[in-house]
Amino acid sequence: MALIDLLTLPAVIPSLRAASKKQALQELASRAADLLRRDEREIFETLNQRERLGSTGVGHGIAIPHGKLPKMERLFGMFARLEKPIDFEALDGEPVDLVFLLLAPEAAGADHLKALARVARLLRDQETAGKIRATRDPQALLNLLTGTAASNAA
């Protein structure tokens, strides 16, 4: 599954203000709820339950909070570049500034895992992460995340 299939321009947040992990998850849940027309609390609780199992801060300033929701029809992605890095209890202890939220249908199975792996690979690429950190333009961020700007990059 390509990221272009689960990430849209309204789901790209170029500068998110959050002072803590909880606040970041609340803000992402709120914005995802608006886009998905779902209950914000349900999304937040799903993300929080996953975080209790272990931080989704994967290192190198990256977090990929994720969870499965009932009655979801397809995978949903949302990206946020944080204004200031926050403690996300990441595996490497480094603060997080790039967050990719992934929500999946309960029966997503392998698609959910493939999407997680794809996001992790993309954001762990130092060159790509550097470009993402250097821009605040939502369309440019979407292009970098989905690979649609690769042929246009100069």
- Per DSSP (E only), the strands in 12-95 are 12-16, 57-59, 62-63, 66-69, 76-86
Question: 6 near 108, Cβ under 8 Å?
Answer: no
- Helical axes 40-53 vs 21-36, angle rounded to 10°: 140
* Residues labelled as active-site residues: 66
Apex 75 CA angle, 10 and 22, nearest 5: 65
- 113 C-beta neighbours (distance < 10 Å), count: 12
